[in-house]
Structures are given as structure tokens and as C-alpha cells.
Amino acid sequence: MTQLLRAQADFVACLLDESTPLPPGWDARRAAGIAVYRNAYRARLIDVLRVTFERTARLVGEDAFVQAAAHHLITNPPASWTVDLAGEGFWEVCTDLFADDADVGEVAWLEWTMHRAFTATDAVPMTLADFASATAGFDTGQWDGLGFELIPGTALRAVSFDLVKLWATLADPLNEVEVARLAEPKWVLLWREGEMPVFGLVPLAEGLALTEILTGGSFGDVCTILSNNVEASQVPAAAGGMLRNWIEIGLIIGLRPALQPTNQANRSNDTE
Amino acid sequence: MATISAYSGFGIGLRRDHYRDFIAGDVDVDFVEVISENFMVDGGRPLRVLEQVRQKLPVILHGVSMSIGSAHGLDRGHMGKLKSLVDRIEPLWVSDHLCWTRTGAHNSHDLLPLPLTRASMEIVCENIDHAQHALGRAMLFENPSSYLTFPQDEMTEWEFLTEMSRRTGCYLLLDINNVYVSACNHGFDPADYLNGIPANRVRQVHLAGHTPGDIMIDTHDRPVCEEVWRLFETARRELGDVAVMVEWDDALPSLADLLAELGRARQIAGAARAELPA
């Protein structure tokens, strides 16, 4: 190990833990100096988390938030060159630390995904006309295999609390916080509309369908998911209605080439 | 490595609170400086704002995460993103700090001090060479404020900067507040620092406020103090026409107050220029 590698490793050890012995030859003045760096390190990163997780901080209160943030910095010390990622993993920390208040983990997840969506890659959503043109003349197999590219930053998760209301309530620090559990679980869908991340609650089936698409699933997979929730005869209309809505809200930026229908793939394997 | 010509404008940092004013294009500055890492992102509003401002003003990219003092070398991910931003914005120049921020596994997101040794010099120069080669341009490096020195130091900071600039061809960003803060913290004469810096390598000056105390801290959250203004007056006579920037990051005042602070820098620089022989 070079001299400088060792010196920097020692310095970081002192920065992270004040009980670490100071390097040989360090006097009281240097001890005071490293205390300045240590305090600045902690204060800066807690401030970064406070800005990213503003509503989570309001929800749990200042003292509890600072404790959670300090815990996060110890268990997940920042490694990336960008301080933007210092909050990575914090919503999971909140989920664990506030296990009796599951709304905290949900709000922290929402703030983190909004933070990431804010600087996601720019893309132009498809219009209904674009979509109609791209899919004109599709046969059933092509529809079944059709995949979708969603606008960068799109994220989904199942939630138990009315995050729409909670988000609005937490916008103003003077508001009294109302935490309302949903009558039935839903999914929160987050995407970027122009420059701003937005979100809304969607029914369970739609959340599952979009999750399938995010992980590479096709329109046929969407129809399969819906078939568990609506009459078989209503599946095409229900799936078409959802798809139309996704296009209208600017969620879809492109189509992936239709895959070969499964039965044809099987048949070609049989002939080998 | 290409030279960086002297540029004699006056500027401030582009901060979110002032985006609208800058986009409207009615802010009386010659350039803006931005924290590079805030714009090294995939997309979204920050980049769009910066591009709009760039259409009206020269932009300086000032980084905080290059970590040229890191014994682990440069971060390829960081350099790749910075190169993309440089290509996109075509800045007046690109700067960072004489410091280190990270080890292999951990990033402090702070400008940490280096032992001023021959061994550090080798690593710093190697990292600067890599960075300037990767960006295809010479860079500026700023003297940091520091809160401790190392027992193993073998030279002064101004000697280190002089040698570093000579060996790599990089230029210097002289932060006069940092000179003052470090001088108070470590007991040297700031005049020695200013006299020791190669004036012909300095392309930019930073002015900022700090928090007084037993250890002075560079906080960028208040006006420039009188001692720093006096040092600027002295430095300006030596440096001639260089870019001058007022840094203010926390407890941001109104744009009018910030521009008033910059106005004082203009006035001092103008007076110093008038004293120079024709």
C-alpha cells in the first residue's frame, strides 16, 4: 500500500468514526481540524437526505429523521461520485426502521423514485396517431407479442396508503398529517410528464400489467393478467382501454418488435 | 495541451433560485459558473435550463468530485459524464479542486486535504494528466480551504500548486477567501501565498464568505469579509485581467444583493487596473 493510500484510508476511518485513533504525530489542533471535516461530512449528507426526502422528514419529525439519516450513512456510506445517489437505499432503511408505520417506507420510496425520475433520460411520448400508424395491419400474433418502451423514470409499487392525499398533506409543514389506509391495496404509478415527475394510484390489475411491461412483458401478457379480473369477452376492451390511457398520459415512448407467437416457436423447435 | 486565454469577466454561480432571471437574460454578469456534477445527469430540467442559459452567457464548469488527489486514481464514470457535459455545453473552461474526495469504496463528498509531499505530487500530476487528456483540454484547479495540515508535509500549498501547474500545464483558480481561511487556520501570511503563486497561470479568482472561529470555515453563506476584499485588491494588481466570481451557496441572498457584491469586485478591479502603468 502506498503512503498516500494508507494516509487516505486512515483519514476516512477517522472521518467515519470519531473513536478511531488519530494517525501518529497528530496533535490537538489536527484533532480539531478533522472534527470540522467529520461534522461537515455528516451535516452535508444529512442535509442532502433532508432535501430529497422532505416529506418523509415531515412525516416522522426532525429528530427521528436525523436518527434514520445517520443510521443510513453508517450502514450505506456513499460510494458514488454523485451526491445525488446518497439517498439510495434510504427508503429501505425507513421501511425497516419504521416497520410499525408502513406509510413512512411508502412515502420515502415515492420521494426517491421522483428524485430519480427528475433527471431521467429525456424522451418523446408516442401519440395516439403514432401508435395507430405503427400498429396498422397488426394480426393477432403481432398484438400478442407487442412490447412497449415506457418513458424513462417510470416506476411502480404496491401500496397500502392513500399516497395522493398524504403527498398533498405533507406539502405544507403547517398541515396536520392525515394517514389514510386504502380500502384495498393499489399500485402507485410514477412517470415523468415533460420535466416533472407525477404519480397516481392505479388498480391492482393495472399495476400488475404495467409491472409486467416494465420487465419485458407483452400486450398478450397484459391480457392474461386481465383475464384473472374480467370476463374473457371483456379482456380486449379492458386491455385496449388501459393501453389508450397509457398513451394519452405520455407513458409510452416506443414499441418493441412483435415477438414470434409462442405456437410458431414451438413448431419450429419440433422440426429440428 | 491547448492554452487557456485570459478572460476578464465578472460572474456568479447559477443557482436554482435565480434560474428564471438567467433564462430571461437580464442578469448583469459576463459569465456564470455551475457545479458540474449537478448537471452530469441523463436528462430533465437542470440540463435544459443550463442549455438555455448557455445560449446567452459563457458557462464555466466547476467540479467538486474529480478527486485529483485520490490515490485510487480518477473515477471513469465521473470522467465519462463530465466529458459528455463538456461536449454538450462547450464551457469557457473546466475546473476542479486540489483535493481528494474518495477512497476506493467510499466518497466523502467533501474537499479533503492532501499531505503536501512529493508522493502526493506524483499522484496529483498523473491524475491531472489523465483528466486533461480525457477532456482534450487544459483545466483549472482551485486551492481549497483546509482545516488541518499533515506532519509529513514537505512544501507549502503555493509551492505545490506552482509545481503542479508547471508539470501538467494546468491553470489555477485562485480562491482568495480560501487563501485567507487557510492562512488563519495554519498561521501563514496570505501575502506569501499570493507572492508565491505563478500569476501567469491564474485564469480565475473566487471570492466568498466564511464563518469565523477558532478554526475558520469556508461556508459561502455570507458576504466577503473586508480582509478578503483587501487581499483581492492586492492580488488583482499582480494577476491583471482574470475572471472574477463571487461564490455564494448557502443562505443565498437576493439576486440584487449578490450582484451588489459582484459590483464591489468590479469596482476594486477597476481601481487596481487604473493603477497599472499604461
What are the tens digits of pLDDT across the range A83-135?
A: 999 999 999 999 999 999 999 999 999 999 999 999 999 999 999 999 999 99
Whether residue B204 has pLDDT greater than 90: yes
Is the Cβ pair B46, A32 closer than 8 Å?
A: no
Of A202, A197, A208, A167, whose CA–CA distance to A187 is shortest? A202
Q: What's the pLDDT score for residue A258?
A: 52
Is the Cβ pair A36, B147 closer than 8 Å?
A: yes
Q: What's the pLDDT score for residue B274?
A: 76
Tell me what the mean pLDDT of segment B273-277 comes to: 71
Instruction: Kindly provide the ipTM of the predicted complex, given to two decimals.
Output: 0.94
**Per-position DSSP letters for B103-171, written without gaps between them:** -SS-EEEEEE----SHHHHHHHHHHHHHHHHHHTS--EEEPPP-S---TT--S-HHHHHHHHHHHH--E
Residue-wise pLDDT for B6-54, tens only, equals: 999 999 999 999 999 999 988 999 999 999 999 999 999 999 999 999 9
**A44 in contact with B, Cβ within 8 Å:** yes
Tell me what the mean pLDDT of segment B95-124 comes to: 96
Q: Identify which of B112, B117, B150 has the shortest CB distance to residue A37.
A: B112
Residue A260 within a domain: yes
Q: What's the pLDDT score for residue B223?
A: 96
Residue-wise pLDDT for B55-94, tens only, equals: 999 999 999 999 999 999 999 999 999 999 999 999 999 9
Structural domains in chain B?
10-275 (3.20.20.150)
Q: Identify which of B44, B112, B151 has the shortest CB distance to residue A122.
A: B44
Residue A220 within a domain: yes
Is the Cβ pair B43, A2 closer than 8 Å?
A: no
Residue A27 within a domain: no
Q: What's the pLDDT score for residue A136?
A: 94
| Number of domains making up chain A | 1
Residue ranges making up the domain that contains A192: 121-272
Residue A71 within a domain: no
Is the Cβ pair A81, B214 closer than 8 Å?
A: no
Residue A218 within a domain: yes
State the smallest CA–CA distance between residue B230 and chain A in angstroms.
27
Of A81, A85, A192, which to mutate for an interface test with B (greatest number of B Cβ within 10 Å)? A81
For A26, name the nearest residue in chain B, comparing CA atoms only: B151
| Structure-block grid coordinates of residue A17 | 468514526
Residue A90 within a domain: no
**A28 in contact with B, Cβ within 8 Å:** no
Residue A139 within a domain: yes
- Using alpha carbons, list the distances in angstroms from residue A216 to A56, A154, A222, A240, A261: 32, 14, 11, 18, 15
Whether residue A272 has pLDDT greater than 90: no
Q: What's the pLDDT score for residue B276?
A: 67
Name the A residues in 126-185 with CB < 8 Å from any B CB.
152
Is the Cβ pair B42, A119 closer than 8 Å?
A: yes
Q: What's the pLDDT score for residue B278?
A: 59
Cα–Cα distance, B107 to B114 (Å, whole number)? 15
Whether residue A269 has pLDDT greater than 70: no
Residue A175 within a domain: yes
